[in-house]
Amino acid sequence: MTDDTPLVSILIRSMDRPTLDRALASAAAQTWPAIEIVVVAACGAAHRDLPEQIDGRPLRLIRPDPDRRLTRPEAANACLDAARGEWLNFLDDDDELLPEHVRTLLEAPRGEGVRLLYSSARVHDVDGSLIGYSGRAGFHMQLYNQNRSQPVATLFHRSLVEEGARFDPTFPVYEDHDFFINCATRTRFQWVQAATCIWNGAIGESGCGYGPNANEPQREAYYARMREKWAPQFEQWKNEPEALIYLAQHHLKEGDLKLAIRCLERALVQHPDDLNALNLYGMACFHDGRIDAALDVLSYARKLAPDQPSIAANLALVEQRSGRSAASLGSG
């Protein structure tokens, strides 16, 4: 480790569950040389004492209020206040980090101004079996419907906290989603294409996970509050080209062709050669009965990307079902 190696704080809000030892071991096993582990006793005085280090890593147990159980946002903010690292990463006491997690994120090429990095998480069922992955590349407007990453998979710079990114105490659940929206107003996010941690989302009683730990009415209620709180920001994000395409896909799934077409037209004004937007727009026009427009747009997209199979297939489909060809339009 050199003097300029950034310290990373692994932050654990602990209810002192049996899985805590596993979480602590996964934090201590990081191959990144500069790690500190901060545990906040969210369950109050009932939390057992912890050693001052684990496998050579410094460990601090913080007891903000031993007389009561902390809420999730209270415990998260106590973690932020106690952290000494340049980079911070939350780890729930029932989740796990794989050994290369921190190193993979910090050594990945990073875009200018990026202060939040995230990877994919392995999603494990209650029996520990792998059932999928969570987390992929995206954009901020997606925060309207879902978190962009699992907290365990996310490493963020302490400057975001210094600027005012905190956990909102009025969100006893989904407080992490609200926090990441706050971060998104301050920085770009960057996905690192690797699975570096384990999310055991079926375990627990928050209702914020999946399977037995999913509470859909609760989710809808708090998402409604979140969307109201951040409405001006979402209004700004939804006018970005990638968000317009995302919204168009949603409207197409809902069968609202007119609204989908309007979104795609706005996206294409900003990026007229976006292949995804052109392909979607062509098919939306086709299903809306605008055959000439569909043929024109899809033939233009094929000219831009002659080796793109989905565009070629959609153009062939429109030609077959309409009984017409793009060549007949004179629009090569």
Per-residue model confidence as pLDDT tens digits over 158-174: 999 999 999 999 999 99
Q: What is the pLDDT of residue 242?
A: 86
- Find out if CATH 3.40.50.300 is the number for domain 8-230: no
pTM given for the model: 0.82
The CATH H-level superfamily of 238-329 is Tetratricopeptide repeat domain (1.25.40.10)
Summarize pLDDT for 227-269 with one digit per residue, the tens: 999 999 999 998 888 889 888 988 898 899 999 999 999 999 9
> What percentage of the chain exceeds 90 in pLDDT?
78
Same fold, 8-230 and 238-329: no
Q: What is the pLDDT of residue 331?
A: 45
Summarize pLDDT for 180-197 with one digit per residue, the tens: 999 999 999 999 999 999
Mean pLDDT, the chain, whole residue set? 93
Q: What is the pLDDT of residue 323?
A: 86
Q: Helix, strand, coil proportions of the chain in percent (round to 5)? A: 45, 20, 35
Q: What is the pLDDT of residue 202?
A: 83
> What percentage of the chain exceeds 70 in pLDDT?
98
Q: Any residues with CB less than 8 A from the CB of 61 and at least 6 apart, and which?
A: 39, 41, 47, 49, 50
Summarize pLDDT for 87-130 with one digit per residue, the tens: 999 999 999 999 999 999 999 999 999 999 999 999 999 888 99
Distances in Å between the alpha carbon of 31 and those of 15, 98, 282? 26, 9, 49
Q: Any residues with CB less than 8 A from the CB of 318 and at least 6 apart, and which?
A: 282, 283, 286, 291, 294, 295, 298
Q: Give domain limits for the chain.
A: 8-230, 238-329
